[in-house]
Structure 1
Amino acid sequence: YNNNLDIPDDYFQKDEKKVLIIAQTGKDASLEFGLAKDFKTVDMIKDAIKENPDSKIYIKIHPDVLSGKKQSDLVINSLPKECILITENFNPIVLLEFFDKVYTKTSGMGFEALMQECECICYGMPFYAGWGLTKDKLECKRRMQKRSLEEVFYAAYILYSEYFNPYLNQKSNIFDTIQTLAKYKDIEKVNSNRLFMLGFTLWKRHFIKPFFKAKDNEIIFLNSINSLVRYKLKEDDKFFIWGK
């Protein structure tokens, strides 16, 4: 979900106290195997309201719910009046920068919150809970030793995980993966917004589109510069002219 939207500067009120509840999908396997089946998201909401009476309670809906692929683990239409629903598909890392405290069951976003130095209250036992980093509602008796954030990161992201580079068709590692993601995210930014194409003959238009593929962009082919009068130009519009 690292290609999601950035947050507008005026989305949150300045200096307001707020906490974030991270909702998940209804049949997320991690809820079962992370021992969170006995907890409901509404339990987190009630606790967050009680424990943070001076704060606004924001709820982050899972991206797969926003896209219609899956159902949420909470009934959105019956939320308490104290809650504010975040329905935009914001980049989770950027979103966490606005919060100091989060509530979650087993979401991986909880670990990202720890990396952002947020206080994290866990209602399940994901890989990052039970090590003294989170405030836990459950106990894992075999996790007896405290671990640092760096140790948990190393175990989960380097020792345990396997990486593959689809562009080179070969096994990779975390460092190459980070560089690859950053590279193609920059390409995505360049190809975003409206792209006006001038001087492209009909047979070129079909095969040129994949080279400018990006999320939510719009490619507009123009027969002449005079065709621009039909459009209200924006600051972030881009122009591409076929050279000779």
Structure 2
Amino acid sequence: MSDGEPGPLWAPEAVWQAIPHLAAFFPEGPPRRGPRPAGAVESRPDEGPWQAPRFGARRVPLALLRPQGPHLVPHLVPHWADPWRHAPISAAEGEALLADWRRQAAENRGIAAFLGMAGWKRAAIAAAFAHDGPPAPFAATEAAALALAAAARARGEPGAIAAWASRAAPGLAGRRAAAGIPLLWVEDGFLRSVGLGVDFIPSASLAVDALGPHYDPRQPSALERILAEEAFDAPLLARAAALRRAIVARGLTKYNLRRRPPRLPASPGRRRILVVGQVEDDASIALGAGRVRTNLGLLEAVRRAEPEAFLVFRPHPDVETGYRRGYVPRRAALRCADAVVAGGDIGGLFAEVEAVHGITSLAGFEALLRGLAVTTWGMPFYAGWGLTTDMEPPPRRGRALSLDALVAGALIRYPRYLDPVSQLPCGPELLLDRLADRAAWPRPSPGRRAAVLGWRYMGWWLKQCRRFGLWQR
């Protein structure tokens, strides 16, 4: 090289280890790696004022001030990079992600205690609510959670309790309100995982609601407020449309079991309707169902409403494990249905039917994404917006929404997502990539896999007990 000409950029191995996506900040050519070449300029990128927040032990840069030239003069603007796809991104994309991370980290710092979180979920919950300080404790009792929250508020902190909604004790909302303590209702999100929760697969998305569970129509939830009040602008609707198309093209659903269901028999000249079973003691049934509250009752109601149709009954996969309530003996189901299809992923059935009936099942929302006619016999979050036929019209709603507005509210604006690989907050688009790639998900430990096998074996026996009327809990 000529005199005065700067040498090549080079980064120490420690920098490459700390920033695995370092090359993405240098689209014209990354710093060299390995032994330092003669005359090389050492690159020690600086995050500057664009420093990303820390989530527990994880902190990943989104923007770097790059050194340039022999005197390491920084650029005046940051260079942005996607930490998951290892590719450059625009300043607008980077700033939006940074703002979202900072907002979520600030919200997480306000939590004083977790309540009602099952032991096998706790590692995933801690990751989803991580921030730059120590994690909030998991309280064993409601009294302990309220005491932790009160102590935090005495220190001038928000002192919120994050409670698993379906396991919260009746009256918790009133008791925390009387004490002036914020309460966050936590439940699984709508794009959940590769596998079932009953098999101890943690959720990669969470619904976190400061008003109430989204499945409780007795009061407005944050999701209902979003859908009822938000003005969805054109860029958000375009993003929702692209997300919807990607979900359908990849065949993604809530659980993504990756096993095709059996093909349906031919039914020439008959309208084909999928009747979706649910867990009968699920909180969404307890709070969101109307006159129809059981799977057999749903089958009977749909048969009365559609006497000539070809009905396909789909039992809920959690019920099929034997551990959850709602089992309908095959003989009883076939008195109303023409076919019973258990096993496999429900996504494979959507292409073989024209319509879907359910009580509050998320399958109704998934069917809407695929352009199917949906009838609800309860009051799920997606009912009441002009997109479904509602046998139990929900209170308060009535605003007519486009399908993409519903998607924008339910899948973009409302949930939070956690990348199962990096354990960092992410958007729904990245989670779609993960859901489509089973190998991306952390493999359970040998002990966990053995426990799941034993759990399934016991569940099979419980299912036989239900089948022969020996156990109905």
| TM-score, normalised by the number of residues in structure 2 | 0.37
Q: Which runs of 5+ in 1 are unaligned?
A: 188-208, 210-215, 217-244
Q: Secondary structure at the match of 1:177?
A: helix
Task: State the shift of 1:79 in Å.
Answer: 3.2
Pairing 1:38–2:284 present: no
For residues 61 and 185 of structure 1, the distance between their equivalents in structure 2, rounded to whole angstroms, comes to: 27
- TM-aligned CA distance change 1:83 to 1:174, over 3 Å: same
Q: 1:13 aligns with which of 262, 266, 283?
A: 266
Counterpart selection for 1:133 from 387, 395, 417:
387
- Residue 16 of structure 1 and its aligned partner are, at CA, apart by 5.7
The one-letter code of the counterpart of 1:39 is V
1:54 to 292, 297, 308: 308
> 1:161 corresponds to which residue?
415
Establish whether residue 182 from structure 1 lines up as the match of residue 436 from structure 2: yes
In structure 1, the residue corresponding to 2:342 is in which secondary structure?
coil
Distance 1:33 1:82 in 2: 26
Q: Distance in 1 between matches of 2:417 and 2:377?
A: 29
Q: Name whichever structure is richer in strand by fraction.
A: 1
- Decide whether aligned partners of structure 1 residues 39 and 54 sit closer, same or farther in structure 2, where only a CA change above 3 A counts: closer
Residues 4, 86 of structure 1: alpha-carbon distance in 2 compared, 3 angstrom cutoff: farther
Q: After superposition, what is the alpha-carbon deviation per residue over 1:19-75, rounded to whole angstroms, capped at 9, x for unaligned?
A: 1111101211111232x0532334432332233333222111000111122121656
What's the counterpart of residue 357 of structure 2? Answer: 103
Are the structure 2 counterparts of residues 185 and 154 from structure 1 closer, same or farther at C-alpha, using a change threshold of 3 Å? farther
Q: Which residue of structure 1 aligns with residue 368 of structure 2?
A: 114
1:107 Cα deviation after fit: 0.3
Report how many aligned residue pairs link the two structures.
191
CA deviation map 1:79-138 (0-9, x unaligned): 352414534312111111111111100000011111121111111111100001111112
**Cα distance change, pair 25–85 in 1 and its aligned pair in 2 (3 A):** farther
Q: How far apart in 1 are the matches of 2:279 and 2:323?
A: 10
Task: Work out whether residues 27 and 73 of structure 1, in 8 Å CA contact, stay in contact via their aligned partners in 2.
Answer: no
1:13 positional shift: 1.6
Q: Structure 1 vs Structure 2: percent identity of aligned residues?
A: 26
Contact 2:367 2:373 in 1 (8 A): yes
Helix, strand or coil at the partner of 2:437? helix
Moved over 4 A (4+): 73-77
- Hey, what does 2:335 align to over in structure 1? 81
Q: Secondary structure at the match of 1:83?
A: coil
**Runs (5+) with no aligned partner, structure 2:** 1-254, 447-452, 454-473
Q: Which amino acid aligns with 1:160?
A: Y
Give the Cα separation in 1 of the matches to 2:370 and 2:317.
Answer: 20
State whether residues 319 and 327 of structure 2, in contact with CA within 8 Å, keep that contact through their aligned partners in structure 1: no
Q: What amino acid is aligned across from residue 170 of structure 1 in structure 2?
A: L
The secondary structure found in structure 1 opposite 2:274 is: strand
Q: What is the one-letter code of the residue matched to 2:374?
A: C
State the secondary structure of the residue aligned to 1:155.
helix
**2:467 counterpart residue number:** none
AA matched with 2:357: Y
Q: Alignment partner for residue 64 of structure 1, among 287, 300, 318?
A: 318
In structure 2, C-alpha distance between the alignment counterparts of 1:80 and 1:87, rounded to whole Å: 11
Contact persistence 1:56–1:82 (CA under 8 A): no
SS at 2:421 equivalent: coil
Aligned 8 A contact 1:61 1:85 in 2: no
Separation in 2, partners of 1:62, 1:43: 15
Which has the higher mean CA deviation after the structures are superposed, 78-87 or 168-177? 78-87
SS at match of 1:132: coil
Note the C-alpha offset of 1:178.
0.5
SS across alignment from 1:20: strand
Q: Which residue of 2 aligns with 1:190?
A: none
Within 5 Å, which residues of 2 pair with 1:209-228? none
Q: What residue number does 2:396 align with?
A: 142
